[in-house]
């Protein structure tokens, strides 16, 4: 398990799937804001990659996010679009509604930066988020990410277009969080 101050990132367990499905992916409004495609229902037991991890996919490393204090599942995170030649990847995360507003997002981003830069030896990490997502913007910028651009009206979300913000962080710019 990768450990931050308050959360840990571990492999996805089978018992995580029903919780993630019910609280994140079956919620049309939440899923529509976090995925780059239109929401669609998934039948129980489906092999939908949003739920089931593929250990053979070298371009995507999914994690379940758990509270360190009690081991409770609080969301999911991933490093995706990994390019080992150019040494970059994208960061994604989504927290359960009950886990939002507690600072977990900032910690998840910090742990993913450690994983990307230290464990994987990547040179660049990138985050794309909706312009109206202040929590993710704060979590990224607190960890040193720089706004590199705005993709105007790039995301179709529940009946309207929303700007998307692109943030980037290079390995030599990254400052690991101070140890408590």
The parts of the chain modelled with pLDDT lower than 50 are none
In eight-state DSSP terms, residue 26 is: S
Contact 151, 164 (CB under 8 A): yes
Q: Which domain holds residue 44?
A: 2-126
Query: Quick one: CA torsion of 34, 3, 58, 79, rounded to 10 degrees?
Result: 30
Distance of CA 22 to the CA centre of its chain: 18
- pLDDT given for residue 42 in this prediction: 74
pTM metric for this prediction: 0.91
78 part of a folded domain: yes
| Per-residue model confidence as pLDDT tens digits over 105-145 | 999 999 999 999 999 999 999 999 999 999 999 999 999 99
- pLDDT given for residue 80 in this prediction: 95
Distance of CA 40 to the CA centre of its chain: 20
Q: Which two tokens stand for residue 26?
A: 């079956």
167 part of a folded domain: no
Greatest extent of the chain over all pairs of C-alpha atoms, in Å = 45
- pLDDT given for residue 24 in this prediction: 83
42 part of a folded domain: yes
6 part of a folded domain: yes
- pLDDT given for residue 37 in this prediction: 72
172 part of a folded domain: no
Counted domains in the chain: 1
112 part of a folded domain: yes
- pLDDT given for residue 9 in this prediction: 98
Q: Give me the percent of the chain exceeding a pLDDT of 70.
A: 94
Kindly report the CATH number assigned to the domain that includes residue 74. 3.40.630.30
């Amino acid at each position: 398990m990768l450990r931050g101050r308050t959360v840990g990132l571990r492999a996805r367990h089978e018992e995580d799937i029903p919780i993630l499905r019910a609280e994140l992916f079956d919620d049309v409004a939440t899923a529509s804001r976090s995925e780059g495609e239109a929401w669609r229902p998934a039948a129980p037991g489906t092999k939908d990659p949003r739920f089931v991890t593929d250990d053979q996919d070298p371009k995507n490393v999914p994690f379940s996010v758990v509270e360190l204090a009690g081991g409770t599942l609080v969301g999911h995170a991933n490093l995706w679009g990994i390019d080992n030649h150019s040494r970059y990847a994208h960061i994604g995360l989504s927290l359960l509604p009950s886990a939002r507003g507690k600072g977990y997002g900032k910690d998840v981003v910090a742990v993913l930066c450690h994983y990307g830069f230290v464990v994987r030896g990547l040179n660049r990490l990138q985050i794309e988020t909706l312009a109206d997502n202040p929590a993710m913007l704060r979590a990224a910028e607190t960890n040193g990410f720089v706004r590199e651009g705005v993709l105007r009206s790039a995301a179709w979300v529940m009946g309207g277009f929303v700007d998307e913000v692109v943030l980037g962080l290079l390995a030599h710019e990254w400052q690991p969080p101070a140890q408590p």
